[in-house]
């Protein structure tokens, strides 16, 4: 049995912010074909701040824990602050992950960043339409 911290186990067994946001401002999806993990993040942005975030993850316990932690770390942050969340920071915040599960942590921040990129692209298109 790989070692998980108490915090990691908590986020695995009681993940926060699970679900989807039907009218999300940004959606980011990533997958790792090696392990079969898939993560989708949904964000709502108001005044340049992530006011709501949800995720759907299909994968192992580490992938679920990582998704939960990323959602907690990003909620309430500005877009710029959320973009500074790295895969390493997520693993640290969880108290570490077993070496064979580190690839899972590489998905969490990537999915968040893709959701932010999606939001920024939509915002740019919307702003361009106003001109």
Active site residues: 35, 104
Measured distance CA(89)–CA(80) in Å, rounded: 15
How would you class 131 by CB atoms within 10 Å of its CB: exposed for 0-12, middle for 13-18, buried for 19 or more? Answer: exposed
* Per-residue tokens: 82: 């959320």
Are 3 and 95 in contact by the 8 Å Cβ rule? The answer is no
Are 47 and 119 in contact by the 8 Å Cβ rule? The answer is no
- Beta bridge mates, 45: 50
Are 52 and 43 in contact by the 8 Å Cβ rule? The answer is yes
């Amino acid at each position: 049995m790989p070692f998980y911290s108490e915090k990691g186990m908590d986020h695995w067994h009681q993940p926060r912010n699970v679900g989807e946001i039907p009218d999300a401002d940004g959606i980011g999806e990533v997958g790792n074909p090696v392990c079969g993990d898939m993560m989708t993040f949904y964000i709502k942005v108001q005044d340049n701040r992530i006011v709501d975030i949800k995720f759907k993850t299909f994968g192992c316990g580490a992938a679920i824990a990582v998704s939960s932690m990323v959602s907690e770390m990003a909620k309430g942050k500005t877009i710029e602050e959320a973009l500074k969340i790295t895969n390493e920071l997520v693993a640290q915040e969880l108290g570490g992950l077993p070496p064979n599960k580190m690839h899972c942590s590489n998905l969490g921040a990537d999915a968040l960043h893709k959701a932010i990129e999606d939001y920024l692209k939509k915002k740019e298109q919307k702003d361009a339409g106003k001109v």
